[in-house]
Amino acid sequence: MHAFLRPLLSFLILTSSFLAMAQDKPKDYGISSKKALEFYLEGQQQSQWRAYREAAKAYEEAINIEPEFAQAHLQLGITAFLLDKSDVAVTYLTKARELRPEEYPALEYYLGLAEFDQEHYAEAAAAFATYLDQKSGRKVDIEKAQSLLKHSLFAAEAIQHPVDFEPENLGPAINTQYHEYLPYLTADNGMLLFTSRRPESIGGYQAMLRDFSEDFFYSVPGENGEWLPAENLGTPINSAENEGAAAMSQDGRVIIFTACNLPGGVGNCDLYASFRQDKGWSEPQNLGPQVNSEGWDSQPCLSHDGKTLYFSSARPNGQGARDLWYSTWDGQKWGPAKNLGGPVNSPGNEDSPFLHADGLTLYFSSDYHPGFGSQDLFVSYRQEGGAWSDPINLGYPLNTSADESNIFVATNGREGYINSDRDGGLGGSDLYRFVMPEEVRPEISTFLRGVVKDSVTKAPVFAAIEVIDIETNDTLRNVRSGKSDGKFLMSLPGGRDYIAYVQAPNYLFTSQKFSLKTLQEETYFDLTILMKPLESGMQIVLPNIFYETGSWQLTAGSGPELRTMAQFLTRNPRISIEIQGHTDDVGSDRDNLSLSQKRAESVKNALIELGIDPGRLQAKGYGETTPVADNGTEAGRASNRRTEMKITDAGR
């Protein structure tokens, strides 16, 4: 049964018990047996004490004596629903309707709740509609009936068109008889992070919660691809308090998570960041009042470019009780949190945002948008201009009448991960993997991982790696290789062409192009990048410097390469370079020499505009005098039309 219904029905059953106690004659209930009335009144008393199992037994005894005892059927139906036996509730409430429907105007409301919980959506819709037609009842009941009628009408139609959904339990290496939830993976699925309440939690058993404290656990795949036994993430992220709902950067080096009631917090539950170091994780840092509020802030999602943090918050000035908010990174700090707005946010509750690696597909949960239960999973797509599309329900049976509150979709877009307490699990809430229904898959993405090494010593190099969309000149990823191992990992949306620039102090920068326009599923790149230590006389072709045809005017497409050159010179302030222009042999020697000189000077001037000292730069045109290929072919001539950079002084 939906958790939000429990206090409501408890109130209703207690209210009816006070009415019953004021009447003590069998005929007032349409029965003749005093003994049946005694059992009924006992049930009412047990209900006041919230002893619902004992109440149900008493109502059953009353019905055994008086099978036509309509009010006993009604109360037993409500009590069964409170005991999570909605199928039993439907039976008894339907009987009460048959016996004395005019006596119980709210019966249709209770019946609608039970039918909805059983996923009998058409029947639930009919019951709610009948209840609302009576135009009587408490305001809170009427509003809830209106909401659930909307859900029922949607679900009754949508359930006729189920999506493919066959979840696979992740097994005993991950799941236990306790609770596991909120899965999050790195871009290459090389690490699984999740929240769990189990005996190995640092905080142990918490008597007030009657459960173990929340901690983060993680697992990595073994040689056969199966998950190895999960381990506690340990201190300083985990503590004796509860930690839950985490997001990882695509390379697993940053974790942003929720912790509550820590000293110095902004609110009761705040977002914190911790960074992986050579010897464990850094002390968690509160993200501060720009992100956190005095209320509840939780369930973070870090975009795959690391520039936007999405999360759910119960702060004031939202559109509902809980909304999705976001904050952007300016290179130094997180900016003020902003409401994501409609149509994603609603008067209800929106939680668990997850932005896929494509940067366009946002998954989240909501109890307001039309669905199958109190909390369903939805998807919204980023439109041109940045607005989000109307939410789309992920469909049945991925969504059900139970709470579906979070989803993680792997980089390839084909695999999804959820937690569920469905039958057949190992106990409590388990983690499941499934094939994403095609109707709600994101754009195909992949990942790029590798290692940066010194070309001579093969030692790992701590380098900056920037990946740029060739068509738009936008920087999509900006990561660093590991200090101790030189490794890096990033996701990349498909359907684009990229340039990756790699730089490190005292090394010559390098670049590499990638085309993902015809990316096939399950495709990814593993690279070993060798960096050449700086030496005087070194020379490199600049393949991404472009000019207008027959001109020395640089095109906009040269921007990324020019910026990279400027960064390289800034990181290595003692070196000097010669910018060389080269042409093919088409045209006169004099014209080619002049053109190559002007092109070299264009690059020099562009670098000066980017802040480089002119004294470190020389520009020289070589015309057609130093070909690197046969000018007798178009491919050869294209190779000869080039710009190069030579290290004239390595500064050593």
pLDDT tens, 72-128?
A: 999 999 999 999 999 999 999 999 999 987 778 889 999 999 999 999 999 999 999
Say whether both 471 and 395 belong to one domain.
no
- The answer, yes or no, to whether residue 388 has pLDDT greater than 80, is yes
94 lies in the same domain as 26:
yes
647 in the same domain as 589: yes
User: Dihedral sign, CA of 192, 198, 204, 208?
Assistant: positive
Q: What is the pLDDT of residue 19?
A: 42
Q: Supply the range of the domain harboring residue 512.
A: 444-533
- The CATH number that applies at residue 495 is 2.60.40.1120
- On average, the pLDDT of the chain sits at 91
Q: In the prediction, which pLDDT does 285 show?
A: 95
Asked if pLDDT for residue 137 goes beyond 90, the answer is no
Count Cβ neighbours within 10 Å for each residue of 101-131 and write b for 16 or more, e otherwise.
Answer: eeebebbbbbbbbbbbbebbbebbbbbbebb
Cβ count near 391 (within 10 Å): 26
Residue finishing a domain among 510, 533, 556: 533
Q: Is residue 196 part of a domain?
A: yes
Which of 476, 507, 533 finishes a domain? 533
Within a domain: residue 170?
A: no
3-state SS class at 184: strand
pLDDT at residue 496, as a whole number: 86
Same domain membership, residue 538 and residue 528:
no
pLDDT tens digits, one per residue of 8-27: 454 444 444 434 444 578 88
Q: How many domains does the chain have?
A: 4
Give the CATH number for residue 36. 1.25.40.10
Distance CA 532, CA 125 (A): 70
Residues 290, 149 within the same domain: no
Would you give the DSSP letter of residue 245? E
Together in a domain, 267 and 336: yes
Same domain, 495 and 543: no
Quote the DSSP letter at residue 213: P
Strand partners, 492: 446
What pLDDT band is residue 442 in, cutting at 50, 70 and 90? very high
Inter-residue contact 597 to 619 (CB < 8 Å): yes
Look at residue 340 and tell me if it is in a domain: yes
522 and 591 in a single domain? The answer is: no
* Residue 258: Cβ-neighbour burial (10 angstroms; 0-12, 13-18, 19+): buried
Task: Give pTM, 2 decimals.
Answer: 0.85
In a domain, 563, yes or no: yes
In a domain, 166, yes or no: no
Q: What is the SS3 assignment for 337-351?
A: CEECCCCCCCCCEEE
DSSP calls for 430-464: EEEEEEPPGGG----EEEEEEEEEETTT--B---E
Residues 85 and 196 in one domain: no
| 525 and 607 assigned to the same domain | no
Query: Same structural domain for residues 356 and 460?
Result: no
In a domain, 253, yes or no: yes
Residue 101's pLDDT is what?
74
Q: Give the model's pLDDT for residue 124.
A: 96
What percent of the chain lies above the pLDDT cut of 70? 95
Q: Measured between alpha carbons, how far is 393 from 408 in angstroms, rounded to an integer?
A: 15
Residue 587: inside a domain: yes
Say yes or no: 427 and 457 in one domain. Answer: no
- 519-542: average pLDDT: 85
Provide the 8-state DSSP code for 28: G
- What is the structure's pLDDT at 374? 80
For residue 173, tell me if it sits in a domain: no
Question: Strands 642-649 and 539-541: what pairing?
Answer: antiparallel
Q: What is the pLDDT of residue 43?
A: 95
Q: Which of 505, 533, 561 is the last residue of a domain?
A: 533
